[in-house]
Amino acid sequence: MECFDVHTHRLTSSAGLSFLSCRMDDKEHADISTARFLSVGIHPWFLSEDDCMLQFQWLDEMMLDPRTVALGEAGLDKLCDTPFSLQLKAFRGVIERAEIHGFPLFIHCVKSFNEVIALKKEYRPKQPWIIHGFRGKKELALSLQSQGFYLSFGEKYQSEAMKTVATERLLLETDDSLVDICELYRRAATVRGIDTNKLVALVGENINRLFFSR
């Protein structure tokens, strides 16, 4: 059973089947040199006026790396100390790069769904927008998928939301958890009431469609 992890901050024995999410501060991390696939972004937690342009320069360089298959995580977080206006500036820059260069976008969203939804309506992106680490209620899950978002679930989530999201909108990730990604597939399959191998195959189809058949 090959379980693909679409968003992780650490590589494991199944590193070939994962997207390593990284930011500029990670550029010397050993995992970047060994990762098969990368997702690169500007995280709102690690952003300042002083380094914003440097982060964009790094992002532009990393988009040329053939291993880069997605942008992000990037987004908005009302609970962090970074000024919200600066977060918006950076997020807009990442959105525009995703559209110009054709990359799916992994989104970090904390207490900012109204703003993210408004930006999606404004930009009308052709590229997939994926809410990573989704922990919201089923009502939010239904609303987001009706507006074209994909939802990536990690170790912690609302069971009713996991049951609700359409299979074609579902992805799974470890993020910074130490739990094995295949265990997360087994748990999700139990919640959804289907065979684990079937879920792995269905999510695999989503991954191929979103990242490797474009």
Summarised one tens digit per residue, pLDDT across range 93-134 is 999 999 999 999 999 999 999 999 999 999 999 999 999 999
Average pLDDT, the chain: 95
Helix (H) or strand (E) holding 7: strand 5-8
Give dist(CA 144, CA 10) in Å, integer: 28
**What is the number of other CB atoms lying within 10 angstroms of the CB of residue 205?**
13
What pLDDT shows up at residue 159? 98
Q: Is the pLDDT confidence value at 28 over 80?
A: no
Span 146-159, average pLDDT: 98
What pLDDT shows up at residue 29? 74
Measuring CA to CA, which residue among 143, 134, 147 is closest to residue 107?
A: 134
Q: Is the pLDDT confidence value at 15 over 70?
A: no
Q: Is the pLDDT confidence value at 61 over 90?
A: yes
pLDDT > 90 fraction of the chain, expressed in percent and rounded: 90
**Pairwise pLDDT comparison (68 vs 26), residue with the higher score:** 68
What pLDDT shows up at residue 139? 98
Report domain extents, the chain: 5-212
| Record: fold of 5-212 | TIM Barrel (3.20.20)
CA angle 147, 150, 153 (to 5 degrees): 135
User: Are the CB atoms for 106 and 74 separated by under 8 Å?
Assistant: yes
What pLDDT shows up at residue 30? 67
pLDDT > 70 fraction of the chain, expressed in percent and rounded: 97
Span 193-209, average pLDDT: 98
Give dist(CA 1, CA 196) in Å, integer: 9
User: Are the CB atoms for 77 and 87 separated by under 8 Å?
Assistant: yes
What pLDDT shows up at residue 1? 73
Q: Is the pLDDT confidence value at 17 over 80?
A: yes
